[in-house]
Amino acid sequence: MFTLTATCVLLPMTGLGQTEAASPYTPPRTADGHPDLQGIWQVLNTAAWDLEDHSASIGVPAGQSVVEGGTIPYLDSALEGRKVNFEQRATLDPENRCYLPGVPRITYMPYPFQIIQQADKVTIAYEYLRTVRYIHMNGNPHPPGPIDWWMGDSRGHWEGDTLVVDVIHFNDKTWFDRAGNYHSEALHVVERYTPTGPNHLLYEATIEDPNVFTRPWTISMPLYRRQEQNMELLEYQCHAYLLEQEWDNPESAFFEEH
């Protein structure tokens, strides 16, 4: 009988547990030399339901927080507003009234959007409500305000390969998600779109509102390029009266068909 003896030989394994510094991605360029962000993009997360960690419930998939640090830094005086919003979200959520969702919410709703670049502006066309948003470039300043706009006023510039968008002039009628996270008319959003690969963008949005939050806070998530052949934006038209029927009668024909 032969006995096999296993001998473990420890050999140096160069690089084990280490990550080589990845070369930064070099995106294709438009005719004016800026990164080409054009295409149809969409998120793959549950931020539209709740930006923070949340468990699954009826009609709501479980999800992880997209907020840096995990939680939104509310003022103590603003927490009651979020609580009321959450408890009455079926009727209070502006999305259920088919209003424009605001920025940054429209980015991570479960619908695709298309980025189109021109020398003087970047246009984002959203499938949701056929919304069109213009990001004015070339150093054009915000108009004087305050101005009561659902989507705010967007002014952009480039920082290296990152498109940076400053957004102000909001109303206080939009939410950040279906969980009732909200803001006041003092909202200020700075978005960053950074290409990280041929089919990925890193989306970041820093949110500031001294009426509601103790400090600025940031969300981040990848955006994915849609790969289907002949991909295009289709039509999603919201009808508030049908949504009211759905909430009032979950067993209605509308609910069954949709």
The Cα–Cα gap between 22 and 73 comes to 33
Dig out the tokens for 158 from the structure: 């480039």
What pLDDT, on a 0 to 100 scale, did the predictor assign at position 243?
Answer: 55
- Contact predicate 181/72, CB 8 Å: yes
Residues 118-129 have a mean pLDDT of 96
Residues 120-128 have a mean pLDDT of 97
Residues 58-79 have a mean pLDDT of 97
* pLDDT tens-digit map of 72-123: 999 999 999 999 999 999 999 999 999 999 999 999 999 999 999 998 999 9
How high does pLDDT run on average in the chain? 88
Q: Is the pLDDT of residue 258 over 90?
A: no
Q: Is the pLDDT of residue 141 over 60?
A: yes
The Cα–Cα gap between 62 and 174 comes to 23
What pLDDT, on a 0 to 100 scale, did the predictor assign at position 11?
Answer: 40
What pLDDT, on a 0 to 100 scale, did the predictor assign at position 23?
Answer: 55
- Residue 128: strand pairing partners: 236
What amino acid occupies position 53? D
The Cα–Cα gap between 59 and 255 comes to 12
What pLDDT, on a 0 to 100 scale, did the predictor assign at position 15?
Answer: 39
Q: Is the pLDDT of residue 256 over 90?
A: no
Q: How do beta strands 121-126 and 153-159 pair?
A: unpaired
- Contact predicate 179/54, CB 8 Å: yes
What pLDDT, on a 0 to 100 scale, did the predictor assign at position 237?
Answer: 86
Write the CA distances from 2 to 5, 6, 92, 239, integer angstroms: 10, 13, 78, 79
Q: Is the pLDDT of residue 253 over 50?
A: no
The Cα–Cα gap between 61 and 230 comes to 29
The Cα–Cα gap between 165 and 154 comes to 6
Residues 165-169 have a mean pLDDT of 98
- Output the pTM of the full model: 0.85
What pLDDT, on a 0 to 100 scale, did the predictor assign at position 24?
Answer: 87
Phi/psi of residue 82, nearest 5 degrees? -65, -40
What pLDDT, on a 0 to 100 scale, did the predictor assign at position 140?
Answer: 87
What pLDDT, on a 0 to 100 scale, did the predictor assign at position 138?
Answer: 86
* pLDDT tens-digit map of 206-225: 999 999 999 999 999 999 99
Write the CA distances from 106 to 158, 171, 213, 218, integer angstroms: 22, 15, 21, 16
Q: Minimal CA–CA distance to 105: which of 126, 83, 81, 74?
A: 126
What pLDDT, on a 0 to 100 scale, did the predictor assign at position 244?
Answer: 58
Phi/psi of residue 83, nearest 5 degrees? -60, -45
Using a pLDDT cut of 70, give the percent of the chain over it.
Answer: 84
What pLDDT, on a 0 to 100 scale, did the predictor assign at position 48?
Answer: 98
